[in-house]
Amino acid sequence: MRSKLVAGNWKMNGTRASAQALIGAIKQGLSAIKTAQFAICPPAIYLADVEGLLQGSGIAWGAQNVSSEIAGAYTGEISAAMLVDLGCRYVIIGHSERRALYAESDTQVAQKFGQAIRAGLTPILCVGESLQQRDDGSTQDVVARQLDAVLMLLGISAFASAVIAYEPVWAIGTGKTASPAQAQQVHAFIRQRLAAHDAILAGRIQIIYGGSVKAGNARELFGMPDIDGGLIGGASLDADEFLAICQAAG
C-alpha cells in the first residue's frame, strides 16, 4: 500500500526568522503522525537553515528547482549535486509557474528530471493543464505530453524513484480546486499511462495533488484511491493549516 506524502512548497516567501518559527511549529505538530511522509521545500537560499532545523525530525526537505546542467558557467543556477550536499531528498521539477513564467519546455523539464535522478534526488514532477485546455477537453493530451517527454528521454525506470504531482494550473493560488472526482480522474489516467510501460511501478508510484489544497478539502481529496497526498503552496506557510492538511494524510 502506498504511503501518503505531503510536501510544502514555500515558493518565494519567508525569512530566516519566519522559517525557524514555522518549522518549529510544524515539527511539534507532526511528531505524533507516523503513517505519512512530509517534506518542506523552501527558497534555495534558506535550504542550509532548513537542513539544520529539520535534522533528526523525520521531515524531509527539498528544493523548488534545479539546473538542467551538471556544473559550469551558469550564473545563478543550482546543480543537483549542490542540493544533495545540503541533504535534500526532494526537488520540485516543472512546476507550472516555472513552465509559464520562465518558459521551461517539456524537454528542459525532462532534462532536469534526469539530473535529479542521477544525483540520487527524488524529483516531484509537476504536470497539469490550463483552464482553456481543460475547457477544450485536452487535459489528458497535455498531461500525456508532459509525461511522455520524460519517458522518451529517460524511460519508465526513471519513475521508480520519483513522485508525480498533478496540479491543474487553473487551481493554483486561485482558491479554485478540482473536485475530488475531477482530480481522481486525472490521477487514474496518469497511473494508467505509466502502467502501459510497467504496471508494478505504476502501482507503487506516489501521485499527489496540488492546487489550492486546504484543511477543509484535504481529507476528501486524499481519500480518493489514486491521490497519494498533496503538494501544498500557500497553505504550507500557515502552521495550523499545514498541520491540519498533514493530519488528513496521516
Cell triple for 47: 535550504
Q: How far is CA 68 from the centre of its chain?
A: 18
Residue 232 bridge partners (DSSP) = 8
What is the Cα–Cα distance from 89 to 60, expressed in whole angstroms?
A: 6
List the catalytic residues. 95, 167
What is the Cα–Cα distance from 78 to 151, expressed in whole angstroms?
A: 24
State the DSSP string of 34-93: -SEEEEEE--GGGHHHHHHHHTTSS-EEEES---SSSSSS-TT---HHHHHHTT--EEEE
Residue 246: φ, ψ to 5°: -60, -40
What is the Cα–Cα distance from 168 to 146, expressed in whole angstroms?
A: 13
Which residue has 543556477 as its cell numbers?
77
List the one residue out of 202, 193, 129 whose CA is nearest residue 162.
Answer: 202
What amino acid occupies position 120?
G
